[in-house]
Amino acid sequence: MVKGPAKTKTADEKIRKSGDWREKTLTRVRQLIKESDPEIVEEVKWKKPSNPDGIPVWYCNGGICTGETYKDHVKLTFFKGASLKDPAGLFTQDGSVTRAIDLYEDEEIDEAAFKNLIRAAVAFNLESKSKR
């Protein structure tokens, strides 16, 4: 995994593409993720013809979440979300492994609860790693 300015620059470009409220929302969420743990690494992955800019992905001892922009919302998909406690009820979509948070225009996220969820994902990755 490559760290550093090159990956961050690519993520910056991807996030700026929307140029509207989605850019502002994803930029703020990105800042909260980085504030949650200084060891978190960001990169853009999964570039393909239908999505040539790829998707911002955050890691720390394993995958944490992705950040995608859609026409009417920003989606944060947590790789192991089903294994995380969500006392603040931030998740809007449940799956057997992943869970997601959908953010719509003019919708605020509980920043403290979101940072706690990011930290819980990092802790889960560390715990899973130590069991191997």
**Is pTM, for the whole model, over 0.95?**
no
Q: What total number of domains does the chain contain?
A: 1
In tens, the pLDDT along 101-127 reads 999 999 999 999 999 999 999 999 998
**Residue 76, H or E segment:** strand 73-78
Distance, CA of 1 to CA of 88 (rounded, Å):
32
- CATH number, residue 96: 3.90.1150.200
Residue pLDDT, tens place only, 32-56:
999 999 999 999 998 888 778 889 9
- Name the residue range of residue 109's domain: 5-130
Q: Rounded distance, CA 102 to CA 20, Å?
A: 16
